[in-house]
A and B are shown apart, each in its own frame.
Chain A
């Protein structure tokens, strides 16, 4: 039987459409436990490839005959080997092109909404890692927000849309992934904006984002208003776009809130986090559509693959916005936190320009889920 190649894009479509898929993950058990392809109708079997070198007979009966079968490994090589063995035994199977490396780097652009005078806003869903970036387009110009290091994807998209990138912004100094912001700004000549309070130690030139700043995109001037919203980092900033969208960075997610401890300052920042979520955000219009910088679980994706919800819905449904007692809130966001993202210190230093790891090293640093939230 045939061995087929499935791309990260095809797997993403299956997950968004909630289709059934059987994944045979042949990575180490630790790697599988730590991070895997998630989806509502995915069934898993994890057997490391090195236990299958003598043949696949032992697992053959554990593999269903009525589902699409996808073999997954870290970089592709082992999954091809196992897929060929299964194929030789008579199964029709696919392997994931580029393995979990490709899965981690795949971005799926999804339109979030229209802005005035033909403007548009797109969300770039990094489905394997739960990172969300944004592009705002207006009248031949574009702004990119919270870009990942896969800069080609943004540049290709801008080219296809015939817009020039004029502004690149990060809502905060990221700790879970390497920002593509500086590189995009260098490649396009755009201005690179970072919150001044997060950028104290950066080694490069940037435009300081301060509370109340307005960045204009296109001649029709779509406005991005900066709203200082500390808590995840001291400089964390949210953006209000045309009084319609709230880009909430790592402060507020769909089903969780930002964690205050990734710069080692949980105790200091928990008060800011509370103030931002329970006072500053309360003053905003409940009709704003919240567009966060992350999602943690596939359930946070809407049916069309977007991650977005109205602010007043989150004030009702998001547990993190409904903890009445301040002492309880402090406890929840500073105690029993999930493990910190892989290599988060090195990632912060990279984003400050203090260290410049090679591409392969950057990839290794970003392995695993983002873990920016408390739930």
Chain B
């Protein structure tokens, strides 16, 4: 996967993972991919719902050693 930008939101509590993700997303071009790393338990459902409501595509999700990884493609 060709990741354009990586956001490290590890250790940040809600709402910061999404605030940072949105800011980074605003600076990307359509079709580019953002990787988000987060540890907040709520990030999984919130980022999924945010991507859906904002029209971006959540390409993949995984969890490694308590870190959630998201790959989101800008619409």
Does A78 count as interface, using CB distance less than 8 angstroms? yes
Q: Closest residue to B14 on the A side, CB-wise?
A: A77
Contact A48 B41 (CB under 8 A): no
Task: Judge whether B18 and A50 touch: CB under 8 Å.
Answer: yes
Contact of A322 with B by CB under 8 A: no
Q: Which residues of A contact B45 (CB under 8 A)?
A: 28, 30-31
Supposing A28-B49, A50-B50 touch, asked if A73 and B41 sit within 8 A by C-beta, the answer is: no
- CB proximity to B under 8 Å, residues A229-260: none
Measuring CB to CB, which residues of chain B are less than 8 angstroms from any residue of chain A?
13-16, 18-19, 22, 41-42, 45-46, 49-50, 53
Query: Is there contact, CB below 8 Å, between B42 and A74?
Result: yes
Complex A-B: 27 CB contacts under 8 Å = A28-B46, A28-B49, A29-B49, A30-B45, A30-B49, A48-B49, A48-B53, A49-B14, A49-B15, A49-B18, A50-B15, A50-B18, A50-B46, A50-B49, A50-B50, A53-B15, A53-B18, A53-B19, A75-B13, A75-B42, A77-B14, A77-B15, A77-B16, A78-B15, A81-B15, A81-B19, A360-B41
Distance in angstroms between the alpha carbons of A212 and B49 in the assembled complex:
54
* B14–A48 touching, CB < 8 Å: no
> Does A364 reach chain B (CB closer than 8 Å)?
yes
Q: Is the CB of A73 within 8 A of B53?
A: no
Supplied contacts A50-B22, A53-B18, A81-B15, 9 more A-B pairs, CB within 8 Å = A48-B46, A48-B49, A49-B14, A50-B15, A73-B14, A75-B42, A77-B15, A78-B14, A78-B15
CB atoms of A53 and B42 under 8 A apart: no
Which of chain A's residues has its CB closest to B51's CB? A50
Residue of A nearest to B21 (CB): A50
Complex: A74 Cα to B17 Cα, angstroms: 14
Q: Is the interface of A mostly helix, strand, loop or mixed?
A: helix
Write out the residue numbers on chain A whose beta carbons fall within 8 Å of the beta carbon of B19.
53, 81
List chain A positions with a Cβ less than 8 A from chain B: 28-31, 48-51, 53, 73-75, 77-78, 81, 360, 364
- Dominant SS among interface residues on chain B: helix
- Contacting residues, chain A, for B13 (C-beta < 8 A): 75, 77
With a CB–CB cut-off of 8 A, which chain A residues contact B16?
Answer: 77
Contact among B14, B22, B41, B49 for A53, CB-based, below 8 A: B22
Contacts of A29 in B (CB 8 A): 49
The docked-state distance in angstroms from the alpha carbon of A53 to that of B19 is 7
Q: Smallest Cβ distance from B54 to chain A, in angstroms?
A: 8
Partner of A75, one of B14, B18, B50, B53: B14
**Measured CA separation A31–B48 after assembly (Å):** 13
CB nearest neighbor in B for A361: B41
Contacts of B18 in A (CB 8 A): 49-50, 53
With the chains together, A51 CA to B15 CA distance in Å? 11
Given the contacts A73-B14, A77-B13, A77-B14, A50 and B53 also touching, CB distance less than 8 Å = yes
Instruction: Tell me the nearest residue of chain B to A50, going by C-beta.
Output: B50
Which residues of the partner chain B approach A51 to less than 8 Å between Cβ atoms? 50, 53
Query: In the complex, what's the smallest C-beta–C-beta distance from B20 to chain A, in angstroms?
Result: 11
Q: How far is the CB of B11 from chain A (nearest CB, A)?
A: 13
In the complex with contacts A30-B45, A48-B46, A50-B50, A74-B22 CB distance below 8 A: no
